[in-house]
Amino acid sequence: MEAAEQIAVVWKQVRGPVIVPLLRASVMVCLAMCVILFVEKVYMAVVIVAMRLIGRRPERQWRWEPLRDDDPELGNAAYPMVLVQIPMYNEREVYKKSIGAACGLSWPSDRIVIQVLDDSTDPAIKELVQVECQRWANKGVNIKYEIRDNRRGYKAGALKEGMKHGYVKDCDFVVIFDADFQPEPDYLSRAMPFLIHNPEIALIQARWVFVNANECLMTRMQEMSLDYHFKVEQEVGSSAYAFFGFNGTAGVWRISALNEAGGWKDRTTVEDMDLAVRASLKGWKFVYLGDLRVKSELPSTFKAFRYQQHRWSCGPANLFRKMLMEIVKNQKVTLWKKIYVIYNFFFVRKIIGHILTSVFYCLVIPATVFVPEIEIPRWGYFYIPTIITLLNAVGTPRSFHLVIFWVLFENVMSLHRTKATFSGLLELGRVNEWVVTEKLGDVLKMKVQSKVTKKLRMRIRERYIIIIGLLMCISQLSYLNFNMESGCSFWSLVLQPISSFVEVTTFCLAKDITISFSSCNPSLSLSSVWDLLGHLSPTDNALRSWCNVVRKDSV
């Protein structure tokens, strides 16, 4: 009791002059970010609807004519020379599919070069890939197997090194497919006419579709987020500004534009976005083809997904830091386009979009439990977030019934993304960390429960001590909110630690297990989560006494 009373005295001294003003300012900043994000989402929705109503399709916006090979004088010369690059790193499960899909593209064999850039460190896998390349070469495919003696620059370094080979100088365009991407045979015949007939276009980007979207609940959540990115964000950028961020794969580049922009650079973990911004500042145009779809694979383990999200959150923030003044000083693009790149593309989507959820819902709203005189308007914590959520879910109608799970999933990931965003902005810690996303192909790696249990304590201590500490605080606040009948919603607080404990337990107990819709065993994860919640529930008498003292003082 003495400790609780001492804490209550200190709280009473700092509450009025420090806590209340600081929390009130935080609420105002978060509400402002919420409005900014809301306006951005509504704006993009309006643009998409307008484009649909006026029928503004790429084939109407740009010149497009199918390639003709019926001219006996030109023959195959009517087709430009195309280089297809496939960067790989220990891709045992998917290398055959990706190489086979690239070699199956419908294009004259003397006008295409398939270049496999193998950075594998496993000699057995390198041999398998080399044998596969030789097998296609024996069939008459012009395929090159290229390796290097180091992994400097990771993917960007491999692509840059691949452009230095002598046979590349004869190529006019380069197509990039990651190791898990499987283009349809007509990919080039549908994409290349835009580049051939419109010399101002530098990039054609195809849409991703996912072969394993139904594998587990996590892949369904990823599909919802990425579908919104492709169906809305990419579409708006292409239709209204002829600019969007290159996705690093399933795209065709004009080699002259790539070289004029400075080629591949490895200064950030988003070398694709870096190249796109630099090419755009040179005046080049981009076209996104939503109807041109390429099969790919989503990360089906939480470990792979978390590393991917760190790279996708940290890289853009770091690139924004590096290129802000370069964009501002650029004289080749319009003021309107510069505003779009700086404000909409970077600031709202890559920074505010990542920070708002974790700061507002995981920190600020729970903290207001202790300061009841600070009221958050309902439009700020309910109406606007609900509209934003519904607008995001529209991109994947078949998963609309999973929107609640998607919200909780995004809340869980928001802490990781926020940490990565600040790492990129401030160039801290793992800012240049590059971990290749694991692809499983048709293989689901399952681990025995007895082996998994041994890793629980170790991994909680190593990787999740900060997260668990924060979630303990939120769970305690939800308990206080329920008992004291605070103005905040109890369920909005209690669901966050529950979903986050599911994340922690899933990673600790089964970093390579996917939670299948059809064959999952919920008793494993739910019982573990229940045990954790039982140990972390607010049963400590001193904490209860302190909460009661603080609450009475607040009232």
Q: What is the pLDDT of residues 309-336, one digit of tens each?
A: 999 999 999 999 999 999 999 999 999 9
* 3-class secondary-structure state, position 87: strand
Check: CB of residue 33 under 8 Å from CB of residue 360. yes
Higher-pLDDT residue of 143 and 447 is 143
Token pair of 160 as six digits = 């840059």
Q: Quick one: what percent of the chain has pLDDT higher than 70?
A: 77
Residue 152 has pLDDT above 80, yes or no: yes
Check: CB of residue 410 under 8 Å from CB of residue 357. yes
- Binned at pLDDT 50, 70 and 90, residue 471 comes out as low
- Binned at pLDDT 50, 70 and 90, residue 409 comes out as confident
Contacts of 162 (CB under 8 A, 6+ apart): 85, 87, 115, 117, 146, 168
Residue 108 has pLDDT above 70, yes or no: yes
Residues 266 and 462: their CA atoms lie apart, in Å, by 29
Residues 239 and 58: their CA atoms lie apart, in Å, by 8
Token pair of 115 as six digits = 């270049």
Residues 285-300: what's their mean pLDDT?
94
Higher-pLDDT residue of 542 and 491 is 491
- Binned at pLDDT 50, 70 and 90, residue 410 comes out as confident
- Binned at pLDDT 50, 70 and 90, residue 450 comes out as very low
Residues 231-259: what's their mean pLDDT?
94
Lowest mean pLDDT among 260-274, 279-293, 453-467: 453-467
Per-residue pLDDT at 518: 35
Per-residue pLDDT at 495: 56
Per-residue pLDDT at 131: 96
State phi, psi for 372 to the nearest 5 degrees: -70, -20
Residues 221-249: what's their mean pLDDT?
93
Instruction: Please give the distance of CA 270 from its chain centroid, rounded to a whole number.
Output: 11
Per-residue pLDDT at 316: 95
Q: Do the bridges between strand 173-176 and strand 251-254 make them parallel or antiparallel, or are there none, so unpaired?
A: antiparallel
Per-residue pLDDT at 190: 95
Token pair of 283 as six digits = 């005046």
Residues 130 and 117: their CA atoms lie apart, in Å, by 11
Per-residue pLDDT at 394: 86
- The position carrying tokens 């054609």 is 204
Residues in the chain: 555
CA distance to 9, 131, 477, 546, per residue, from 12 (Å): 5, 73, 18, 12
* 3-class secondary-structure state, position 10: helix
Check: CB of residue 514 under 8 Å from CB of residue 465. no
The DSSP output letter for 112 is E
Check: CB of residue 84 under 8 Å from CB of residue 75. no
Per-residue pLDDT at 440: 67
Nearest alpha carbon to residue 293 among 253, 250, 252? 250
Q: Do the bridges between strand 251-254 and strand 201-210 make them parallel or antiparallel, or are there none, so unpaired?
A: antiparallel
Q: pLDDT tens, 181-197? A: 999 999 999 999 999 99
Residues 481-506: what's their mean pLDDT?
51
What is the separation, in whole angstroms, between the first and last Cα of the chain? 21
Q: Quick one: what percent of the chain has pLDDT higher than 90?
A: 55
Residues 534 and 527: their CA atoms lie apart, in Å, by 10
Per-residue pLDDT at 374: 86
CA distance to 37, 92, 97, 227, per residue, from 444 (Å): 37, 13, 17, 24
Residues with catalytic annotation? Answer: 119, 272
Per-residue pLDDT at 56: 84
What CATH number belongs to 8-62+78-453? Answer: 3.90.550.10
- Backbone φ/ψ region at 27: left (φ over 0), alpha (ψ -120 to 50), beta: alpha
- The position carrying tokens 């190529």 is 171
Residue 485 has pLDDT above 60, yes or no: no
Higher-pLDDT residue of 498 and 245 is 245
Residue 30 has pLDDT above 60, yes or no: yes
Per-residue pLDDT at 302: 80
- Binned at pLDDT 50, 70 and 90, residue 372 comes out as confident
Domain boundary assignment for the chain: 8-62+78-453, 460-512
Instruction: Please give the distance of CA 536 from its chain centroid, rounded to a whole number.
Output: 32
- The position carrying tokens 């690239």 is 102
Residue 531 has pLDDT above 70, yes or no: no
Q: Is the dihedral of CA 245, 249, 251, 257 positive or negative?
A: positive
